[in-house]
Structure 1
Amino acid sequence: MNDLGIKDTARRALSGAVIAVPGAGGPLGRAVLLRLAAAGAIVVGADNDPERLAEAVAAARESTGGGATVTGEPVDLLDPEATRAWATRAEREFGRVDGLVHLVGGWRGGKTFAETGLEDWALLERLLIRTVQHTSLAFAEPLRRSERGRYVLVSAAGASRPTAGNAAYAAAKSAAEAWTLALADHFHTSAAPDRLSAAATILVVKALVHDAMRAGRPHAKFAGFTDVKDLADAVAGVWDRPAPEVNGQRLWLTEKP
């Protein structure tokens, strides 16, 4: 393992791969961009916050001494046509698309089931489901054409065991998982026998933590949380495994509920 925590096999698997990363501007997006760029991937980021995205892209480029190809552009992932146009541009510019790592997130919740606001569902349905629908539909065929296509969704353990105050969030995450598993079935059923090269995979965490959170709450233990750097390593590791091994799988980075 090298000094960035990336296995040599993952580096070989990702070298030259073209990976799209929607939601690239947040703490997790920044960690994923750094990992993919360090592994030799061509990274195509997108976010709805241009300033935050520019900072994440610059950090990823600087992490490799300017040797990595990392781009970013604002894309409205709630617009299906804009999302398809982004996929088309990426494939036209780089000749292929080998992966999409879906990092668009959001959370709303309450203390009790009775306090659940349907306005929370309306927001989460857009952020957590619509964006998955639009990116998967836009990138499904480019990924299927790739020799190492991967669609990676980050989900939450709460989708498998919803709590009373988390109804809207858990339901939205569960729907996003179901949609991703349907994409996995598309990859499976459309591939020639023993020739599956594309996969849709779900990485499951309890919750995420990053350095700024620890600095803001120095006495918190964040028990069971996954550090964004560790999740970024897990993302890179998806390319290290054969498509049949990860297609349609939930890969747990926390204890199963």
Structure 2
Amino acid sequence: MTVPVGQGPLEGRVVAVAGAAGPAGRATLLRLAEAGATVAAVDAATERLAEAVDAASFAHGGAPVVGETVDLLDLDATRAWADRTEEEFGRVDGLVHLVGGWRGSKNFAETSLGDWNHLHNLLIRTVQHTSLAFDPALRRSGDGRFLLVSAAATGRPTAGNAAYAAAKAAAEAWTLALADGFAKAGGEGEPPAAAAILVVKALVHDAMRAERPNAKFAGFTDVTELAEAVTGAWERPAREVNGQRLWLTPEP
């Protein structure tokens, strides 16, 4: 199935979303479908992924949103997902990395290296595998986007947040290396794709507000704002987006 590029904001674009079953994923699937994109979503949580895919598709008149369970810690499986997506839809214009998680400690001395091992897989390995898998297709798109969601904590890690902040910093460095590859491929002209980092303090959604009605969530980014930033990544030329840390919370 080849998807032609149309006239709407993301009409004809094909966007893959990794980690699509959580609140941020649900909001992103909904916004991408609303913008006209064809969406290929994956997550390890099969039932929640199916719910998120159905919600996004039904909300927009049967929009082309598909989902499957893929082990993103398996590079071959991730590459196979990228190949299937491009083969089925004729192109891949974006990969949105929403795989997340957090572990911390009361202080630095109590930092668990088990937490580091867990976050290394969750926050770094999945970035490595998705970027390596989708790099060729994003280049072939001619206007591809690789979008990583990261945290302001990378710049000012706290004593109890060492493993998380270090893992996020490594994922950012990997993404910026991908961006440099895109820039070199473009030479003096427009790069074939852009890799950028969407920086938040933390994310908030309606269920969190309902659970903590008196909390202010100062500096937090609503998942709908994140989804809007994702779809807006194609509004500017790739050279203006590539290698940028795009702040969705006040920059310190």
* Deviations, residues 2-60 of structure 1 (Å, cap 9, x unaligned): xxxxxxxxx83411100000100000000000000000000000000110100000000
2:57 — aligned with what? 61
1:146 — aligned with what? 141
2:177 — aligned with what? 182
Name which of 16, 23, 44 aligns with 1:20.
16
Distance 1:150 1:76 in 2: 22
Give the CA deviation at 1:256.
Answer: 1.9
Check the 8 A contact 2:144/2:194 in 1, yes or no.
yes
Give the CA deviation at 1:136.
Answer: 0.1
Q: Is 1:213–2:213 an aligned residue pair?
A: no
Distance 1:65 1:91 in 2: 23
Q: Is 1:125–2:114 an aligned residue pair?
A: no
* Deviations, residues 200-257 of structure 1 (Å, cap 9, x unaligned): 0100000000001011111111111000001100111101111000000000011223
Q: Is 1:76–2:71 an aligned residue pair?
A: yes
1:88 — aligned with what? 83
Distance 2:69 2:149 in 1: 21
Question: Across the two proteins, how many residue pairs are aligned to each other?
Answer: 246
Give the CA deviation at 1:192.
Answer: 4.5
* Deviations, residues 75-107 of structure 1 (Å, cap 9, x unaligned): 000000000000000010011100000000010
Distance 1:13 1:142 in 2: 20
1:109 — aligned with what? 104
1:169 — aligned with what? 164
Distance 1:38 1:138 in 2: 26
Give the CA deviation at 1:124.
Answer: 0.2
- Give the aligned residue type for 1:52: R
SS at match of 2:197: strand
Percent of paired sites with the same residue: 70
Distance 1:116 1:255 in 2: 28
Distance 2:191 2:185 in 1: 9
Unaligned runs of 5+ in 1: 1-10
TM-score w.r.t. length of structure 1? 0.94
- Give the aligned residue type for 2:244: Q
SS at match of 1:104: coil
Equivalences for 1:20-59 in 2 at 5 Å?
Answer: 20-59=16-55
1:4 — aligned with what? none
SS at match of 1:161: coil
CA RMSD of aligned residues (A): 1.0
Runs of 4+ in 1 over 6 A off after TM superposition: none
Check the 8 A contact 2:95/2:147 in 1, yes or no.
yes
TM-score w.r.t. length of structure 2? 0.96
- Give the aligned residue type for 1:218: P
Check the 8 A contact 2:97/2:149 in 1, yes or no.
yes
1:137 — aligned with what? 132
- Which segment is superposed worse, 12-21 or 197-206? 12-21
